[in-house]
Chains A and B, each alone.
Chain A
Amino acid sequence: MRPLITAIGLLLAWEALTWATGVPVYILPPPSRVAVVLVERFDLLMEQAAWTAAEMILGLALGLVLGAVLAVVFAASAGWRRWALPLVIVSQAIPVIAIAPLLVLWLGYGMASKVAMAALVIFFPVVSTLYDGLRRTDQGWLDLAQTMDACPRAVLLQIRLPAALPAFASGARIAAAVAPIGAVIGEWVGASAGLGYLMTQSLARGQTPLAFAALFLLCLLGLALYHATDRAARRLVPWQSPQGE
């Protein structure tokens, strides 16, 4: 209830500001105008939102899988870790906006380059949180497994991996929060569809209210993705962290 009241308060303040200052609509449209555009151009906006949502969801899925596989490989093999971990860190040292044009060049203006971009932004928090979780298994559990004559593979799959799932869930939440960044940057750099694409197009034509409407939907999409991921994480990982008094 409280966030809703805050949101309504902010919208009213914004409406009052535009009315009081008489700022032109192409600079800052009042929320009422944005709402009208949302209704009038509903079909167009939904079409573009569906496209961006698909990019974000596919990017999130790809990033989660890629990140999880890498983290498990790093935990299982010191050799792989020594070779690949520096590469993972370098991949994050390069700003994603700098790689975006290259990805569009290689993968085209379609969805693939945006999915790749989102996955690139997402996989790092997933790798780092899950790998960290895999390294921090409760020593008591590892000792117990050792006295039970468990092989390293069984320890990894049956103890270390499930024990690291709360960490993975944290990584997935961060990933869901940053997924829109990857997708939208991709659309700004070069695209033929999507909310980010619609924003650049409408701004170029002075249709600022439409750009705001697209931004509003983008915000809703991001929130929905985060909450869906959060709910899934709570459902799949009902225990929170390793025991400890």
Chain B
Amino acid sequence: MTFVVASPSLSVRGARIAFGDRVVANNLTLEFPGGRTTCLLGRSGVGKTSLLRWLAGLLPGAERAAPLAYMAQRDLLLPWLNLLDNVLLGHRLRGDAVALGAAGPRARTLLAEVGLGHRLGDRPETLSAGMRQRAALARTLCEDRPVVLMDEPFAHLDAVTRLELQDLAARLLAGRTVVLVTHDPLEALRLGHQVRVLSGTPFTVGPVIEPPGPMPRDPADPTLLGLQGRLIAQLRNTA
């Protein structure tokens, strides 16, 4: 694994996110500490994904704060490429032959780390949903960017696969500045140094919640379950 030297913090200052007349966020100021994982929790439609896309520079008028890697809800593997080439997609798209050659071993190592070292030459359609999302995680990490944005990356998986992938992500993303959007309180509590709750229209961001203990946290931990209960109540009240 490459050692991440310094992962910058991300700052949002007075941002406005709007689609025509529909204002998602107004005068938004937010800080994502460097080298730590911040989970943004909120109900569907509150604007979590919009904020993440804004941070990624994917919305009109938005500018990317730092070089970053983006992982979406869908795996977005290209069906015509094998797994290894999918993981190397960024390098292929940038067309830098030297960097592409150099990234090959790293991509193989990452695929081995996510348990797909024996499927390098396989096409995505031959894989299960969990395997595909693991490959997407490897692709995200192969970009080797200090900032990683994740949009409900495990939402489509069954409960056990989700827990396994959360463990894997927590291990492999350590040291990077991660913003993870989710509607699952337990996921946020397992993976985040910080959890922030988004609510309202336009949305506001709640105070920093810092669950105790190292990540990935045990889903059966009574403290975590207590916090989960409180978060669910909070999300219900902010409908």
Contacts and interface: CB of A to CB of B under 8 A. Distances in A.
Interface centre among B80, B89, B125 (most CB of A within 10 A): B80
Contact of B143 (A141, A148, A151, A243): A148
A239 B77 CA distance: 12
B76 A141 contact: yes
Interface in B18-68: 53, 56-58, 64, 68
A150 B76 contact: no
B93 A150 contact: yes
A146 B58 contact: yes
Interface residues of A, number: 24
A138 B93 CA distance: 16
B222 interface: no
A27 to B, nearest CB: 54
B125 A147 contact: no
B51 to A, nearest CB: 15
Contacts of A141: 76, 78
Interface residues of B, number: 27
A32 interface: no
B106 interface: no
B90 interface: yes
A60 to B, nearest CB: 24
A144 interface: yes
A147 B80 contact: no
Contact of A162 (B75, B78, B95, B156): B78
A170 B138 CA distance: 34
A176 B62 CA distance: 47
Contacts of B56: 143, 147
Interface in A148-163: 148-151, 154-155, 158-159, 162-163
B72 interface: yes
- Secondary structure call for the B interface: loop
A144 B69 CA distance: 9
B63 to A, nearest CB: 12
Interface in B68-87: 68-70, 72, 74-80
Interface in B87-139: 89-90, 92-95, 123, 125
A165 B80 contact: yes
Contacts of A140: 72, 74, 76
Contacts of B75: 243
A150 B125 contact: no
B139 to A, nearest CB: 9
Contact of A148 (B53, B80, B94, B125): B94
A186 to B, nearest CB: 37
Nearest to B136: A144
A110 B108 CA distance: 57
A154 B94 CA distance: 7
A148 B90 contact: yes
Interface centre among A148, A165, A242, A243 (most CB of B within 10 A): A148
A149 B92 CA distance: 11
Contacts of A151: 93-95
Interface string A202-245: 00000000000000000000000000000000000011001101
Contacts of A158: 92-93
Given A147-B58, A154-B92, 12 more contacts: A140-B76, A143-B70, A144-B76, A144-B89, A148-B143, A150-B90, A151-B93, A154-B95, A165-B80, A239-B79, A243-B74, A243-B75
The 6 A-B pairs with the shortest beta carbon distances in the complex, nearest first, are A150-B93, A239-B79, A148-B90, A147-B70, A154-B93, A162-B80
Interface of B: 53, 56-58, 64, 68-70, 72, 74-80, 89-90, 92-95, 123, 125, 143, 149, 156
